[in-house]
Structure 1
Amino acid sequence: MEVAQSTLKEPEKELFSWVAPARPFKKRNREFYITLLAIAAVVGIVLFLVEGFMPVLLIISLIFLFYIMNTVPPENVEYKITNKGINVAGNKTDWSLINRYWFARRFDSELLVMETQSLPGRLEIVIEPNDKEKIQKELSAFIIEEKVSPSYLDKATDWFAGKLPGNK
């Protein structure tokens, strides 16, 4: 769906806004981290024997990043849908850079997922479940709602995540 030419000449107008966490968040328990460290240790030993110390250093840094992301709660961010695009914490993405959108769930949070033409390729926004219809109404005027089927990588990560404790 192309953005109408008349919209491009109009001044920017806020259509809907809300405040929500910057990312989905779930506090993990001790059992989860012990299992994760055991898996990382086994993979690290194998990689150390095959490649040396650098892959092990990479695994350690990824585990540290994962730990920080799961222990520090996200900050609240203001989101705005305008006639020109979507603003996330003051960063604007024009409608011309967004292909489609759909809704998803992760960690008991409702998400609005938008496929973008720029990196990282997807914009995932936490929404309140009672705002879903309002957001859907505003977005449908500019972009289409079309859920992307999961790739092999998505299916593999979902399967692996389901095997870890606390993710059932």
Structure 2
Amino acid sequence: MPADLKSTLKTKNNPSEVSVVPSPFKEILSWQAAIRPFKKRGREYFSTVGAIVFLLVIILLFIKEWVLVAVVLALMFLSYVLATVPPGEVKHQITTRGIKTGEKLYKWEWLTRFWFTKKWNMEILNVETILVFPKRLQLILKDKGREEVRKAMEKYLTLEKPKKTSLDRASEWLQEKVPLES
């Protein structure tokens, strides 16, 4: 046992020292799912995105914003890659010490609340963190039921959906008014 850990253990000679006993690592629930939500996009989507990008690039070229042209083209490329390359699979685990996704463990102390959303017919478990990055974990519930996950999570976190911000409402309005595909 390392010397620095020995000093934190309770001894008979010094009862004021605090005993730190970590909870045993036990898996409560686990499942395999895609890393991110994915929807195969069609020709209409790419045509619409291409037309919007073309118009933006023309406007930015007229006002000589070369860096913004590069940013818009980079975002278009990112959009293309995310829409054509299917995501890989990862193992998600809910444990007694936190949520483990892949090889990364997010301790319960770093997590604040959770809620469920649905995107492209996929159930998603959203978990808010106190970390700078990632601020929110999104775990796809492939073969696990919502109730089963809710019961496992409620032992440690509060089920609470955050209120929509003005940015959320604006993006929903834009998605409704300017659909990229029908």
* TM-score, reference length from structure 1: 0.89
CA distance in 2, matches of 1:33, 1:158: 20
Aligned residue in 1 for 2:179: 164
Alignment of 1:27-42 (within 5 A): 27-42=40-55
Taking a change above 3 Å as real, the CA distance of residues 27 and 91 of structure 1, as seen in their structure-2 partners, is same
Counterpart check, 1:131 vs 2:153: no
Asked if structure 1 preserves the Cα contact closer than 8 Å seen for 2:124 and 2:141, the reply is: yes
Deviation string for 1:21-67 (max 9, x for gaps)? 11100011111111111111112222233342110111101110111
Q: CA deviation at 1:110?
A: 0.7
Q: CA deviation at 1:103?
A: 0.1
Asked if structure 1 preserves the Cα contact closer than 8 Å seen for 2:31 and 2:144, the reply is: no
Aligned residue in 2 for 1:3: none
Q: CA deviation at 1:153?
A: 1.5
Partner of residue 61 from structure 1, selected from 70, 74, 99: 74
Asked if structure 1 preserves the Cα contact closer than 8 Å seen for 2:29 and 2:95, the reply is: yes
Deviation string for 1:49-102 (max 9, x for gaps)? 334211011110111011101111111110000010000111110111111000
Asked if structure 2 preserves the Cα contact closer than 8 Å seen for 1:15 and 1:81, the reply is: yes
Q: How many residues align?
A: 161
Aligned residue in 1 for 2:85: 72
Query: Which structure dedicates a bigger proportion of its chain to helix?
Result: 1
Alignment of 1:36-51 (within 5 A): 36-51=49-64
* TM-score, reference length from structure 2: 0.83
CA distance in 2, matches of 1:12, 1:65: 38
Partner of residue 9 from structure 1, selected from 22, 28, 41: 22
If asked which structure has higher relative contact order (CA below 8 Å, sep 6+), I would say 1
